[in-house]
Structure 1
């Protein structure tokens, strides 16, 4: 085996190791998070939970926006690391931090003027909860600002592929949120305000942990004064256009929440927020996988290894979909039972919202590696302008449909259609950016995942018709679904190279275990 092949194999094994580590963390985080949501919903009530989802929705959009902006920043860090240019990395870190501090100040100015006005004059809120909503908004904005400043530290840890540290901090955060749920149960003050304040407190502590670790471990995280006009222009241009794409995604999400509030009130916001809690937990499977693969895609591009990069992009698209599908199919088939077990009393529209959000997540899972490939080039102006504009179209279309008296879940169907269109737009954009072979992608990725999904879904649907109801049914369906899905993935979803790599990795792990034993 030549040096390049050996390097690719080692990189793939590192990706697999980091992915497994992140999944162990994710399973714990997901379980605790879902339990925490149940407790928070119980003590806040569906109306206050809905108010938090729309007024404090800046916290929810913060997760999406921060992850997206972090991936953009991490692109530059990974690029410098791929070239082993540590002096450039140091300059890039300090310049990025300055840009995010400036951005957070702009957000604060806009929020304290236009945001407060919109909250008081345009949202549908119970009159007796207006003061609590304003406090919630203030703490949410502070949480958002702290999260923005955390981005360079978060991105540096991912670029350095220190996934164990990333996992530990995430576990701390979710345990802290579980403590919040307990505090709500004993609080004698306004629970919505208490909840918002404690969420801000956790965000601040997580920032301090990230910064402390980076300063201790990575010399490039020591802040220096640097004025490099070329670097500043490049970072602002890239970050600005990436921010446009991120904001388009946020507006697509949070804007839909506001439109739903205007037409249907906070109870529907609460139902949608609950469905997103479940789908977001599933999305962690894809997010963790992409956290492990994203640095490698960028480093391959930085080193000019385009063939290896393209192979990883294709494989990442497939595996992202498959990982989500394995857990998504049982939820699609047993949505009502799962929601009853989780929430006891299921609010209206939660079931249909949940199913549609899972389908949207499945479509979007194919796009994550394509986004990373586009960002790796550093030339994203046209890409973000086209894709971002497409995502924003769902808002005016949804507004028109609600004016025509369509039901609340129409916004989710529109979002699903826009996501499919955006996927194909990304493919055509990448054809010009990195010479991506669209026909090969459709054949090797799209056709394979459609075949595997159809075989898995309808096989399990047929078998589930012979089972009873309740928890035992959910367990059996989940178990059988996992077995059948993994089998179909192996025989119909993977190509020869992927099967060979999988066999080699499994054999290596078995031999390592036997040796240690």
Structure 2
């Protein structure tokens, strides 16, 4: 059973990494074409309109976590009847949520876009149309969440990855065609984005209906009010954490818009996309292993669940830093190579978002473990409030200093505080001491990355900026990073598995 679980996690990881590589390649060209076709102002305008939608979606994030947790728990316990009941209860809650988001979006959201956001007056009508397109695709996405959660519960990551790649392919094709389209390109882009994402949601739902017997919509089982209350109760406490994430992420976009205008939104949008793509290797690992963490708790294997959670913290940070370190040293050159004329402050904002991402990854395994245990009330309230406080703190800093850099220093410090808060709750809820986290996560990560950082620093100091230096820094950072991870970032049993799974297979192929 343990071998099968390990193989499933490894298969999921490779599926997510394949998705990351293909989507990253497509995004490299797509964003360049979109920025060129829209211009800085409209590109930033679409980003901030998306931020308004994200504010409306904070409830969906909490309910999605609840559905995934309960479905995965039922899969781990082998209860097919319970699985079907949870699916139908989740369908009801998400249908109601979609209606709520539509109602709020068509009232508060439309008012906010028309009268509050800072933009040229002649662009308000186009921004309103873009908002309507985003609101439509968002509502469809909410309704189809239980189907996606079922794929995650059964650890069918390969199919989810294939659908994500297909979506990126559709957006890639549309981005190329965008510059040839007549009329308002912002409206075209919003409509094309909504069409591509809605198509993927529909395919995913039909495939889930055909693949999983539990995906049978039954109105009678939707009215399982005790189960609906249980899902909503779990979602209520998750709400604080997701609301905090929205405030910290999309709230920053609105603060930048109110303080500095749409061009800085363009820089922030690009920074988030770059950091998100670089962090996909770590996020892919987390998506691959999170269902296994919940399944182990569902099977009563708490010690193994905690061990896997700490490994998740370590591996997520290592995989993120492996790419972030060399990219950070050559970020300005890479952005110029990619976008030709990147918006002002893009490099600086990328580095700050990198730092916040690393702080999050160092304790991200605690999130899955606490979700699996189910004791989330006090945990979510305190950490969610910590993230929510990021917004007023950054607003006050922005008003007082009118400095973008000072604003993001405040956000980075708050990200570190929230990450340490997870360690505190890990000790309270899981019995994992601070010393164990330092020994198994932070120290191995720091030791593993030190050689690569030193090499990248030396190369950028000694060589002039050029494509040759970019290749040298990337090669040195990745090579020494992998060596450091193997030597200092992995435990003895993990190194043995690497030798068996990777090096052993390479040797066999070489002999063949």
TM-score normalised by the shorter chain: which range applies? over 0.9
Match of 2:49 in 1: 55
Q: Does 1:120 align with 2:114?
A: yes
Question: CA-to-partner distance for each residue in 1:439-472, whole Å, 9 max, x for gaps?
Answer: 1111211122122233321232113333342222
The separation in 2 between residues aligned to 1:275 and 1:192, in whole angstroms, is 20
Q: CA offsets, 1:92-134, max 9 Å, x none?
A: 0111111111112111111211222222222111011010111
Structure 1 stretch displaced more, 368-377 or 54-63: 54-63
Higher mean Cα deviation, 142-151 or 62-71? Answer: 62-71
1:427 aligns with 423
Which of 375, 378, 398 pairs up with 2:374?
Answer: 378
Q: Deviations over 1:173-196 (max 9, x none)?
A: 001101221231111121111111
Instruction: Please list every run of 5 or more consecutive structure 1 residues that lacks an aligned counterpart in the other structure.
Output: 1-6
In structure 1, what is the equivalent of residue 187 of structure 2? 193
Once the two structures are TM-superposed, the CA of residue 66 in structure 1 deviates from its matched residue by: 6.3
Relative distance call for 1:184 and 1:122 in structure 2 (3 A) is same
Q: Where does 1:276-355 land on structure 2 (aligned, <5 Å)?
A: 276-355=272-351
2:479 equivalent to 1:489: no
246, 264, 273: which one pairs with 1:250?
Answer: 246
Counterpart-to-counterpart distance in 1, 2:99 and 2:57: 18
- Give the secondary structure class of the aligned counterpart of 2:463: coil
* Aligned-partner Cα distance in 1 for 2:364–2:143: 24
Contact 1:69–1:151 (CA under 8 A) maintained in structure 2: no
Once residues 68 and 510 of structure 2 are traced to their aligned partners in structure 1, the CA distance between those partners, rounded to angstroms, is 38
**What is the match of residue 449 of structure 1?**
445
Instruction: Work out the CA distance in 2 between the residues paired with 1:203 and 1:41.
Output: 20
Is it true that 1:221 corresponds to 2:200 in the alignment? Answer: no
Residue 9 of structure 1 corresponds to which residue in structure 2? 3
How far apart are 1:259 and its partner, in Å?
Answer: 1.1
Q: Secondary structure at the match of 1:509?
A: helix
Which of 224, 227, 233 aligns to 2:229? It is 233
Task: Point out where structure 2 has 5 or more consecutive residues left out of the alignment.
Answer: none
**Change over 3 Å in CA distance of 1:498–1:16 after alignment to 2:** same
Correspondence for 1:83: 77
Q: Which moved more, 1:17-26 or 1:259-268?
A: 17-26
Q: Please report the TM-score for the alignment, with normalisation by the length of structure 1.
A: 0.94
How many aligned positions are there? 510
CA deviation string 1:9-61 (max 9, x = no partner): 33223212220122112101111012101100000000001111112334667
Equivalent position to 1:170, from 146, 164, 179: 164
| Distance of aligned partners of 1:111 and 1:63 in 2 relative to their CA distance in 1, 3 Å threshold | closer
The CA deviation at 1:228 is 2.3
Q: CA 1:212–1:106 in structure 2 vs 1: closer, same or farther (change >3 Å)?
A: same
Of 94, 98, 104, the match for 1:104? 98
Alpha carbons 2:56, 2:104 under 8 Å: kept: no
Contact between 2:74 and 2:80, CA under 8 Å: does it hold in 1?
yes
Give the aligned partner of residue 363 of structure 1: 359
User: Does 100-109 or 61-70 show the bigger shift?
Assistant: 61-70
Distance 1:505 1:324, change over 3 A: same
Task: Check if 1:95 corresponds to 2:89.
Answer: yes
The equivalent of 2:402 in structure 1 is 406
Distance 1:37 1:60 in 2: 20
Q: Equivalents in 1 of 2:191, 2:218: separation in Å?
A: 33
Q: Which residue of 2 aligns with 1:180?
A: 174
CA 59–291 in structure 1, closer or farther in 2 if over 3 Å, else same: same
SS of 1:348 mapped into structure 2: coil
2: CA distance, partners of 1:172 / 1:64: 26
Alignment root-mean-square deviation, CA: 2.0
Further displaced range: 123-132 or 148-157: 148-157
Query: What CA distance in whole angstroms lies between the structure 1 residues aligned with 2:113 and 2:127?
Result: 8
Shift of 1:230: 2.3
Is residue 238–residue 379 contact of structure 1 (8 Å, CA) maintained in 2? no
Q: Within 2, Cα distance between the matches of 1:422 and 1:89?
A: 34
Equivalent pair of 2:147/2:204 in contact (CA under 8 Å): yes
Partner of 1:301, secondary structure, is helix
- 1:457-516, Cα deviation, whole Å (9 max, x unpaired): 12321133333422222122111111101111121222223222322323563477579x
* Structure 2 match to 1:4: none
Matches within 5 A, 1:143-158: 143-158=137-152
Residues 349-397 of structure 1: CA deviation (Å, up to 9, x unaligned): 1110011111111111123221111111122121111111000111111
